[in-house]
Amino acid sequence: MEPVARRAGGRLPKRVREKKESGPQAFKLEDHVFFYFSQILARRTRAINARLRPDGLDYPRWRVLAVLQEHSGATMGRLADLTSVDRTTLTRTLGLMEKAGLIIRREGKSDRRSLSISLTAQGRRMFARILPLTLTETDRALTGLSAQEIGVLKDWLRTMADNLKTP
């Protein structure tokens, strides 16, 4: 079996493997796997924002609720890592959520410079109320995939995420 030619974005298309195209003209968005990630995330985010708007929420606040539901007492650094949001944006989002009574920030027990962030009872109720809305959008995105295919997809995505961890 001959080795598979690869490039950033996935398997090289036949037209490139056979040297019919090279260089910048060989690049096609449709051949680049991260193009689809961007499309999927943007479409899902827009749909979730529309569904959360009546509750006064948006996708960034949903991500914080989801992370804190599972990781109560997370530090700012941990929360930034798990939500994939930079600290400046996250600080702004947390301020809005604190004002709305959804989260509480406390000084760390061992280090007063660090903050521990948790959901309030109101935040937990909000999470429970909006979870079905967000899961509906996830189900919509995964329509047509079997449970086994979804499992394989998650494994591939986990591998890709691990590949990109900072050394």
**How does pLDDT run across 11-48, given as a tens digit for each residue?**
655 655 565 566 777 788 888 889 999 999 999 999 99
Residues 61 and 93: beta-carbon distance below 8 Å: yes
DSSP label of 13 = P
pLDDT at 81 (0 to 100): 93
Integer Cα distance of 63 and 122 in angstroms: 16
Helix/strand number for the chain, H first, E second? 7, 4
pTM confidence score: 0.79
Instruction: Go through the domains of the chain in sequence order and give each one's CATH number.
Output: 7-55 (no CATH), 57-134 (1.10.10.10)
3-state helix, strand, coil in the chain (%, to 5): 65, 10, 30
pLDDT at 4 (0 to 100): 46
Residue pLDDT, tens place only, 38-86: 999 999 999 999 999 999 999 999 999 999 999 999 999 999 999 999 9
Residues 68 and 123: beta-carbon distance below 8 Å: yes
In b/e form, how buried is each residue of 73-84, taking b as 16+ CB within 10 angstroms? Answer: ebebeebbebbe
Please name the residues in contact with 73: beta carbons below 8 A apart, sequence gap of 6 or more.
Answer: 116, 117, 118
Give the CB-side neighbour count of residue 74, counting CA atoms within 13 A. Answer: 21
